[in-house]
Structure 1
Amino acid sequence: MSIKRIEPGARMSGAVVHGNTVYLAGQVGDGESVTDQCKSALAEVDSLLAAAGTDKSKVLQTIIYLSDIAYFAEMNAVWEAWIDPANPPARATSEAKLAAPKYKVEFIVTAALD
C-alpha cells in the first residue's frame, strides 16, 4: 500500500494518506480568541482534506485539545457550525498544554477517502 505525504516538512507532514485513510497533523489557528483560532484551524483542516481528496463529511475521528477547558463552549459553537451535521465524527476533547502559550486549541483529524 502506498503512502502519500501532503505538505511534508523537516519535522512532520501536514497530512499523510495511507490506504483509504487520511491522518492530519495537529492543526492550530491564528487569532487572539478561541473562536478565531478554531475557525482558522478548521479552514486549514478543510484545505488539507481537499489536498488529500476528501472533505469534512468523511471525518472519522477528531481529537481536540484546549489549553483551558473553560473554552469548551466557545470551541463547540465553532465546531458545531463547521461539522457536516449528517456525518458527525467520533470526538474527544481534553485540556492540555499546547506547543506555544499563544495557542488555545488544536485539532487532530482522521478521515476516510471514500
Structure 2
Amino acid sequence: MSEIVRIDQNTRRSRASVFGDLVFLAGQVADDKAGDITQQTREALAKVDDMLARAGTDKSRLLSVQVWLRTMDDFDAMNAVYDAWVVQGQTPCRACGKVELADPRFLIEVIAIAAR
C-alpha cells in the first residue's frame, strides 16, 4: 500500500497530499488580499508552482485545475495571467466558476491535481 505524504499540514488541512504518483493541492489563494485579479492570480499560481515543487513535480504535469472566481467579471483578466503561466501543449483539464470564497477580499482560488 502506498504511503500518503502530507505537505504543510495543520489540524484542519494539508496544502498538498501525495499518493503514489498523484499530487492533490488544496485551494491556493493570494497573500495580498488587497491586490487586483491580475496580482492575486499571479500569487495563487506561484503558490501552485511552489506546492508542486515541494511535492516533486511541476506545472507541466498538471492533470486538472479548478479556478474559483469571486466574480466572472474577472474571467478575462484571470485568463490573461493563466494562459501565460500554463505550459502550452501540456494544458490540463480545467473548470472555472463563480463561488463565494472564505474571505470576500479573495478574488481567486486555484485547486490542482498533478502527476509526479
After superposing on structure 2, the runs of 4+ consecutive aligned residues of structure 1 that deviate more than 4 Å are none
Alpha-carbon contact 1:30-1:36 (below 8 Å) kept:
no
- C-alpha separation between the residues in 2 aligned to 1:30 and 1:20? 29
Q: CA RMSD in A?
A: 0.7
SS in 2 for 1:53: coil
Could you tell me which amino acid in structure 1 is paired with residue 50 of structure 2? Answer: S
Alpha-carbon contact 1:65-1:95 (below 8 Å) kept:
yes
Residue 18 in 1 paired to residue 22 in 2? no
1:93-108 mapped onto 2 (5 Å cutoff): 93-108=96-111
- C-alpha separation between the residues in 2 aligned to 1:86 and 1:55? 14
Q: Deviations over 1:78-101 (max 9, x none)?
A: 000100012000000000000101
SS in 1 for 2:95: strand
- C-alpha separation between the residues in 2 aligned to 1:40 and 1:63? 16
Please state how far the C-alpha of 1:12 moved relative to its aligned partner: 0.4
SS in 2 for 1:84: coil
Please state how far the C-alpha of 1:10 moved relative to its aligned partner: 1.4
Residue 83 in 1 paired to residue 86 in 2? yes
Could you tell me which amino acid in structure 1 is paired with residue 59 of structure 2? Answer: K
Q: Deviations over 1:13-36 (max 9, x none)?
A: 010001110000000113320000
Please state how far the C-alpha of 1:64 moved relative to its aligned partner: 0.5
Aligned residues: 113
In structure 2, stretches of 5+ residues that fail to align are none
TM-score after normalising by structure 1: 0.97
Report sequence identity in percent: 43
Partner residue in 1 for 2:62 = 59
- C-alpha separation between the residues in 2 aligned to 1:54 and 1:96? 28
SS in 1 for 2:83: helix
Could you tell me which amino acid in structure 1 is paired with residue 87 of structure 2? Answer: D
